[in-house]
Amino acid sequence: MIPLKNKSLYKTQCYVNGEWRNSNSGDRINVYNPYSKELVGTVPDMGAAECKEAIESAHAAFQTWKDYSAGERSQILRKWFELQMENIDDLANILTIEQGKPLAEAKGEIRYGASFVEWFAEEAKRVYGDVIPGHGRDKRITVIKQPIGVVAAITPWNFPNAMITRKVAPALAAGCTVVIKPSELTPLSALALAELAEQAGFPKGVLNIITTDDAPSVGQAMTSHSKVKKVSFTGSTKVGKILLKQCADSVKKVSMELGGNAPFIVFDDADIDAAVEGAIASKFRNAGQTCVCSNRIFAQEGIYEEFVNKLAIAVKDLQLGDGLKEGINIGPLIEPKALSFVEKVVDNARTNGATILTGGKVSKVNDLIYEPTIVTNATTDMMVFREEIFGPVAPVFKFKTESEVIEMANDTPYGLASYFYGRDYARIWRVSEGLEYGMVGINTGMISTTVAPFGGIKESGFGREGSKYGIEDFVNIKYMCWGGVE
């Protein structure tokens, strides 16, 4: 049991059609604290059959939810937002205990996640259409936007709260209903959100959450069901490609927020101290387990040594440990498999001649905490350049010219986030336009915000979450031609 002020938030059943229920088989999934390895709960291990039930429930609920006025949907979403903020401490505790990130970061995620609910509570009232000048004297043309229908959302473990609210809020605001499959590693945060949604007054079937240890079969059930009209996925590019192929058979609307390999460029005219601060924030947040974190750092040759030395000093100040303790900056990686991959990436660099300036090994504090690591003298053929590391490892590459670093930065199939520091305004424009990424941070390492469109290009996916653009993926555009207007 997780210690909570609001004990109703600790849920160990799934939420389908307004009811808390177990799986048909009675099978359960164990949920562990990655730092202490303690069992913190069990949740139902549902399968394709229960997923189909949830989809049918969502479809039935859609028939009435879509007819709610925008103001009615807005009021319920607003209440959901308020409940999340009222319970921020408990939601953050749940998140840290099942995911491992420091409590301060967890609270930041709750605020960030709730901000999407607040934003789209207002955007529900702004799904505008158009009146277009007719093509004939007796013709009038109108355009309206209608909710697409049942949305299937699949969310990851690294942001188990915000990745749900970022998808669910615009869907519900538009008038859609939702079936969510959270990660089996972090299901408790999702179920706590469902409890608050019930308290906020969502009609039964509007929001459904199923947990499973058999993601492929549940994913197949979502992508193959005729009543699912849209699939929204955040996760690896490998899995995203599988889901895309499955969705093609029924031509579903799809949003994909996939892998990243973000460059972080520091030009010789940059504020070095600010660049170091930005690199720390971008690279080491959530122990490097974010899709938009800096993956490859490039420093121009004139300031390379100064930047690396200052970065090393800042990295050594990071505090490692239990995310529930005050002052901790780096918690555990999510599971042993994740740690093994980080070790593999660093060993590949070390074996091929790179220098491990700091870190480079598992911490003595905890066997799932990897020490914050800086790698120098790395080359572009190493895993630290090619792979999405998803851990607290920062390779720093030296470059000479602007054109060279743009070419290096773009030398990846991914195109999610990118960052650079510099003061020359002309170069800022050139580099911003030259980087093949959906998002560019200029003199900042933190770019995620409710009011801006989040998403990538190339093999990082398509579709946008947040901002005024975020609701567009959940509506159909209908054109109506009026004839005989004499």
Mean pLDDT of the chain: 97
pLDDT band at 185 (very low <50, low <70, confident <90, very high): very high
CA distances 121 to 102, 144, 388, 449, Å, are 29, 20, 34, 16
User: Directed axis angle between helix 70-86 and helix 88-99, to 10°?
Assistant: 70
The answer to whether 194 and 223 are in contact (CB under 8 A) is no
Q: What is the pLDDT of residue 384?
A: 98
Kindly state the tokens that stand for 393: 């490892």
Q: What is the pLDDT of residue 25?
A: 97
Q: What is the mean pLDDT of residues 154-169?
A: 98
Q: What is the pLDDT of residue 43?
A: 98
Query: What is the domain partition of the chain in residue ranges?
Result: 7-258+460-479, 262-450
Q: What is the mean pLDDT of residues 23-29?
A: 98
Only one residue has tokens 């387990």, namely 289
Closest CA to 151 of 61, 215, 21: 61
Angstrom distance (rounded) from CA 214 to CA 118: 33
Alpha helices by DSSP H, listed for 317-395, are: 336-351, 383-386
The answer to whether 354 and 382 are in contact (CB under 8 A) is yes
Calculate what percentage of the chain has a pLDDT beyond 90: 99
Condensed to tens digits (0 to 9), the pLDDT of residues 331-369 reads 999 999 999 999 999 999 999 999 999 999 999 999 999
pLDDT band at 486 (very low <50, low <70, confident <90, very high): confident
The answer to whether 289 and 338 are in contact (CB under 8 A) is yes
Angstrom distance (rounded) from CA 222 to CA 322: 37
Condensed to tens digits (0 to 9), the pLDDT of residues 254-304 reads 999 999 999 999 999 999 999 999 999 999 999 999 999 999 999 999 999
Only one residue has tokens 């459904």, namely 208
Angle 328-331-332 from CA coordinates, rounded to 5°: 160
342 burial via Cβ count (<10 Å: 0-12, 13-18, 19+): buried
Using CA atoms in the order 194, 200, 204, 207, what is the torsion angle rounded to 10 degrees? -40
pLDDT band at 118 (very low <50, low <70, confident <90, very high): very high
Q: What is the mean pLDDT of residues 357-383?
A: 97
Identify the CATH assignment for 262-450 out of 3.40.605.10, 3.40.309.10, 3.60.15.10, 3.40.50.1370.
3.40.309.10
CA distances 311 to 281, 324, 353, Å, are 11, 26, 21
Q: DSSP readout, 46-71?
A: --HHHHHHHHHHHHHHHHHHTTS-HH
The answer to whether 77 and 169 are in contact (CB under 8 A) is yes
Longest dimension (CA), the chain: 82
Closest CA to 92 of 110, 118, 113: 110
Kindly state the tokens that stand for 262: 């973000």
Residues facing residue 362 across a β-bridge: 370
317 burial via Cβ count (<10 Å: 0-12, 13-18, 19+): exposed
Condensed to tens digits (0 to 9), the pLDDT of residues 127-138 reads 999 999 999 999
Identify the CATH assignment for 7-258+460-479 out of 3.40.50.1000, 3.40.605.10, 3.30.420.40, 3.40.50.300.
3.40.605.10
Q: What is the mean pLDDT of residues 176-181?
A: 98
Is pTM, for the whole model, over 0.85? Answer: yes
The answer to whether 395 and 428 are in contact (CB under 8 A) is no
Q: What is the mean pLDDT of residues 43-55?
A: 98
Name the CA radius of gyration of the chain, rounded. Answer: 23
Q: Which helix (H) or strand (E) holds 44?
A: strand 39-44
Q: What is the pLDDT of residue 277?
A: 98
Calculate what percentage of the chain has a pLDDT beyond 70: 100
Helices (H) and strands (E) in the chain, counts: 14, 22
Condensed to tens digits (0 to 9), the pLDDT of residues 53-83 reads 999 999 999 999 999 999 999 999 999 999 9
In this model, does residue 1 exceed pLDDT 90?
no
Only one residue has tokens 């800096």, namely 294
- As annotated, the active-site residues are 257, 291
Angstrom distance (rounded) from CA 13 to CA 29: 11
Angstrom distance (rounded) from CA 350 to CA 130: 59
Q: Which helix (H) or strand (E) holds 115?
A: helix 103-123
E strand intervals along 342-387: 355-358, 373-376
